[in-house]
Amino acid sequence: MTKEITTKVSEETLAILKESYPQEQSFKRISLPRLSLVSQDKTEGRGKSLKVVAEAGTFFLEEQTDEQDENGRYIWKKTDLGKSIQGIIFYQRNQLRMYDSATEEFTNSPIYDSENEIVPLFRNRLEVERGTPVELKAKFQFTDDTGKVKSRLEDNRVLYILYKDKPYQMNLRGSSMYSFLSYARKMLVPSVITEFSSTEEKKGQIEWNKMSFTPKKELTEEEIGTIIAAIKDIKVAILAEKGLVATAEVVPKEDNY
């Protein structure tokens, strides 16, 4: 028969015990709703039944729902936001991505913050390479028709944006990314409200919309305080996320990396 424990323990002693006892680590990946631009018309059907379902230059808000498709992936709900939006860019990070059209496979790194970081590359949920961003890009180098050395593993920029007082994520690549980098060199982007719009571009037979950025209003002292708080929050989330990524062997294909 088990003897009943009747000894009273002070709350202070229990607090020390709780702090000393190893706790299960609980990490949460940064998973935010997304803001995105349709760079080229998206169509459905063929011939006379062909119709444009998403017009180039349109911004969308994408939010993950609780519903899943037949493959167990969460379904994202899209909301049309029109041809321009305004928000505050309060943080930026980096990612490496590559799409192989022959195999229809994506290869990507987690989102990272420094060119000195050792980051993994994942394909089909499995790690395939590891190194600094420069080392990884070198593994996928090729020479194009003009003799220029490039990498199939391309740089992406990940922006964190306050839109209608809520944080969102925006992924940029190609000409839209370079448009942002040019904009960011001219000013401290977290200190202004930015208007996001786009311009039509053409190269040969290819047409697309490139994102453009315009400062609309300087922030007040109070508004900057809100941005500083948002930056602190995202930094805490990044530290927790990196603790998870460092020990992860498998990364879900649809994660916000």
Residue 14 falls within a domain, yes or no?
A: no
pLDDT of residue 7: 53
User: What's the whole-number mean pLDDT along residues 7-32?
Assistant: 63
Tell me whether residue 206 is in a domain. Answer: yes
Mean pLDDT of the chain: 85
pLDDT score, position 54: 79
Residue of 86, 132, 91 lying closest to 109 (CA atoms): 132
User: Per the structure, how many domains does the chain have?
Assistant: 1
Model pLDDT, residue 66: 87
Task: Please tell me what DSSP assigns to residue 257.
Answer: -
| Cβ atoms 200, 212 nearer than 8 A | no
Could you tell me the pTM of the whole model?
0.80
Tell me, yes or no, whether 19 lies in a domain. Answer: no
Residue 212 to residue 43: CA distance in whole angstroms: 24
- Average pLDDT over every residue of 11-31: 62
For residues 116-132, b (16+ Cβ closer than 10 Å) or e, as one string? eeebbbbbeeeeebebe
Query: How confident is the model over 41-51, as a mean pLDDT?
Result: 73
Reduced to 3 states (helix: H, G, I; strand: E, B; else coil), residue 80 is strand
Q: Helix, strand, or coil here: 223?
A: helix
Query: Is 19 a residue whose pLDDT tops 80?
Result: no
CA-nearest of 77, 57, 79, 78 to 67 is: 77
Cβ-contact 92, 159 below 8 angstroms? yes
- CB burial readout 10-27, b (16+ within 10 A) else e: eeeeeeeeeeeeeeeeee
Instruction: Please report the pLDDT score of residue 62 as a whole number.
Output: 93
pLDDT at 253: 38
Inside any domain, residue 223:
yes
Separation between Cα atoms, residue 126 and residue 164, nearest integer Å: 37
Q: Retrieve residue 224's tokens.
A: 């900057």
Average pLDDT over residues 26-48: 78
Report helix, strand or coil for 175.
helix
Any domain includes 4: no
Q: How confident is the model at residue 224 (pLDDT cuts 50, 70, 90)?
A: very high
pLDDT higher than 70, residue 183: yes
pLDDT > 90 fraction of the chain, expressed in percent and rounded: 61
- CB-CB contact of 158 with 171 (8 Å): yes
pLDDT computed for residue 257 by the predictor: 31
Is 73 within the bounds of a domain?
yes
Q: 85 is written with which tokens?
A: 């939006």
Mean pLDDT for 62-77 is 87
Domain that holds residue 186: 30-245
- Note whether residue 11 is domain-resident: no
Domain membership of residue 99 (yes or no) is: yes
Does residue 239 have a pLDDT over 60? yes
In the predicted structure, residue 25 carries a pLDDT above the cut 50: no
